[in-house]
Amino acid sequence: MTETSPVAVVTGANSGIGRATAIHLASNGYRVWGTARDLGRASKAVQMADEAGVELRWSELDIADDDSVRKGFATILDAEGRVDVLVNNAGVGGNAVVEECPPSLFLEVMNVNLCGATRCVHAVLPGMRARRSGTIVNVSSVVGRFAALAQAPYVASKWALEAMSEELAQEIAPWGIRVAIVEPGITKSAIFAKNVDAPNSSGVYDAHYRRLFQFYAAGMARATDPFEVGAVVREAIETDSPRLRWPVSWGARELLESRPRVSDADWVGLGAVDTDEEYVAGFRRLFGLDIAT
C-alpha cells in the first residue's frame, strides 16, 4: 500500500458488515479509515485486521451528530488530503408496527440511517467534485425495497436512503462520481442480534411481531458471511460495468426480484391470513423463499 492508494472511509467499521468491508478493502490495496462512535469498541476490528495482516486507521465520530461528523472527517482529510471512496454503512434497526411507533422513534432511526449518511456525503462530496472522481456506496437493505413486517421505522429509513441515493446518483453524475446502493439480505451481523425489541404495547399485533422474528430466525439460520458483502462493495467500486443496485446475502435475490411481480392485492392479502402456517406458505408462494423455522 502506498500514499497513492485509494482512500476509503467505512462508517460503523467496528462490527459486522462495516468491519468486514473495511478489512476486505484494506486487504485489496485501499488505505482504509474506519469510523465508530466509540473507538473503545473497535478492539475486535483491530484484532481481525492484525490477523489479516492489514492496517485500519480510525476516526471517532457519531454519524447522528453534525459536529461529530465534521470533526471526524476533518481528522481524515487533514491526514489524507482526500477521500476517494465513502462507504455509508453505519446504521441502526428499529422494530414497531406503525400504530405503536411514536414519531420520536421514526425520527431517531431516520436521523441515523438517512441523515447520518447524508452528513457523511456532505463531508466528502466537495473534494470529489473538485477531483471529478469518487464513489459513494450506501449500504441499504432488502427492506429498502421490501416492507418487512413490523419494522416501520427501519423500513421507512431504508426506503428513504434508497430514494436519496437515486437522487444523488443523478445529481453528481456530471462530475464522474458514482453512487452504488448495496442491499444486503440477512448476514451474520450484530445488528440482528440486537434487533429484538417488540413494543407490542397494545397487545393486538402479536402475530405481526411473531412473523417478523420468524423471518429473521429463518434468515439467521442460513445467514451469509459479512465478508460476502465486503466483496460486493469492492466490486461495486471497481467494476467496469457500474449499476445502481447490488443485492447480496440470504434472501436478497428472491425478495428483490419477486417483489415487483407481486401485486399490491396479493401483498396486502398476505398480511390478512389467519395462521402462521398460511403466512409461511403464502410467503413461499409469492417470493420463493422458505421462512419456516
pLDDT digits (tens, 9 = 90+) for 248-262: 999 999 999 999 999
User: Is 273 inside a domain boundary?
Assistant: no
Confidence grade of residue 2 (pLDDT, cut at 50, 70, 90): low
28 is a domain residue = yes
d(CA 184, CA 232): 10
pLDDT in tens, 60-70: 999 999 999 99
Domain residue limits at 31:
7-199+224-252
Beta bridge partners of 9: 33, 86
Tell me the per-residue pLDDT of 275-287, one tens digit each, with 9 for 90 and over. Answer: 999 999 999 999 9
In the chain, the number of structural domains is 1
Residue 1 has pLDDT above 90, yes or no: no
Q: Residue 139: inside a domain, yes or no?
A: yes
The string over 41-76, giving b where at least 16 C-beta atoms fall within 10 Å of a residue's C-beta and e elsewhere, is ebeebbeebeeeebebbbbebbbbeeebbeebbebb
pLDDT value of residue 196? 59
Q: Is 35 exposed, middle or buried (0-12, 13-18, 19+ CB in 10 A)?
A: buried
Mean pLDDT of 88-111: 97
**Average pLDDT of the chain?**
95
The pLDDT of residue 250 is: 96
Q: Is residue 36 part of a domain?
A: yes
Percentage of residues of the chain with pLDDT beyond 90? 93
pTM score, two decimals?
0.95
Residue 219, in any domain of the structure: no
Distance CA 270, CA 292 (A): 15
**pLDDT of res. 4:** 86
Output the domain CATH number for residue 153.
3.40.50.720
Is 287 a member of any domain?
no
Taking Cα atoms as reference points, which of 144, 143, 152, 149 lies closest to residue 101?
152
Backbone angles phi and psi of 158, in degrees to 5 = -75, -35
pLDDT digits 0-9 by tens, 193-205: 555 567 777 789 9
Q: Residue 228 has which C-alpha cell?
A: 460476502
pLDDT of residue 165: 98
SS3 category, 171? helix
Annotated catalytic, 154?
A: yes
pLDDT of residue 149 exceeding 80, the answer is: yes
Domain assignment present for residue 285? The answer is no
